[in-house]
Amino acid sequence: MKKIEIKSILQFLDKEGLEYEFFGNNRTFIQGFSSLANYEEETMTWVKSQEAKYNKEKKIKLCIVQKGVHIHAENIICSSNSKAIFFKTIDAFYQDKEEKEKIGNGTFIGKNVKIGKYVRIGHNCSIDGDITIGDNTKIANNVVISNRVIIGSNCEIQSLSVIGEDGFGYSEDEEHKKVMVKHYGGVMIGDDVFIGSHVNIARGTIDNTVIESGVKIAPTTHIGHNNIIERNSTVICSQLFGSVHTKENAYITSSVVRNQCTIGAYATVGMGSVVTKDVDDKKTVIGAPARELTRKAL
């Protein structure tokens, strides 16, 4: 990896408007990056917790440190947002710049698909229907996007995800024969949305399924038909059934949410929860069924 003068890193952080304090010699050079647990000489590393384990005999050339954490290093960048600084620095100075094909091998693009500038689409994808893809969006391999889908700018969709297929719904006749309900809505995805691998986002039945800007969806998540996920919310490895309304900045992890439920703004749904009723704004729920987590008086 190439050598970088710490002074150049500090200039980059200033340009990005990131707050930090620096202790050391900014004319020092580093060469690459490594984890704290497996620190490699001459590299930069990151520590976020005082409990982090590492070999204290190794001399750390540059450490990006979470504010309040104390560590011995030749040079230190201290910040309350150390994680962002560490990974932004890697992206700026060490990201793989290799140019890839705009559209990969074996990918089918339908005649009604509109593709913005600097879009990258991987191998063996199927993108067919009334679909719009915004500028700078990256779509990995084996992704299916169908029917009516609008995807904003600067989004990332990882491999093996499916967006825009019909959701699960049926009617029954007098003999209880199940007939699947045809869907007529679409999927609307805002800007700066991350969709991990093996994610399924169903189209709306009549109205659209909506994923607003800044939403992050981790791998192996199911978003049922008619969901609305408001801006900057996070959904991790969870199952959201039909017509769930997730308000802004909510956080849902490894959970199941019943259809028609509302998850309030800034609410947290903890690991392993089964949500069967609405969650109020700024509340934390856990358990099966999910109940509000309260702090008992000492």
Active-site annotation, residues: 225
- b/e burial code for range 209-245 (CB count within 10 A of at least 16 → b): bbbbbbbbbbebbbbbbbbbbbbbbbbbbbbbbbbbb
| CA triple 274-278-281, angle to 5 deg | 110
Q: Residue 121's beta-bridge partner residues?
A: 103, 139
- DSSP 8-state code for residue 34: -
Dihedrals φ, ψ of 13, to 5°? -65, -40
Cβ atoms of 230 and 214 within 8 Å: the answer is no
Q: What are the helix (H) ranges across the chain?
A: 6-16, 82-94
Long-range contacts of 202-210 (CB under 8 A, 24+ apart): 202/164, 202/165, 202/166, 202/167, 202/168, 202/227, 202/242, 203/147, 203/148, 203/149, 203/164, 203/165, 203/166, 203/167, 204/167, 205/167, 205/169, 205/181, 205/242, 208/148, 209/185
Number of DSSP helices (H) and strands (E) in the chain, helices first: 2, 33
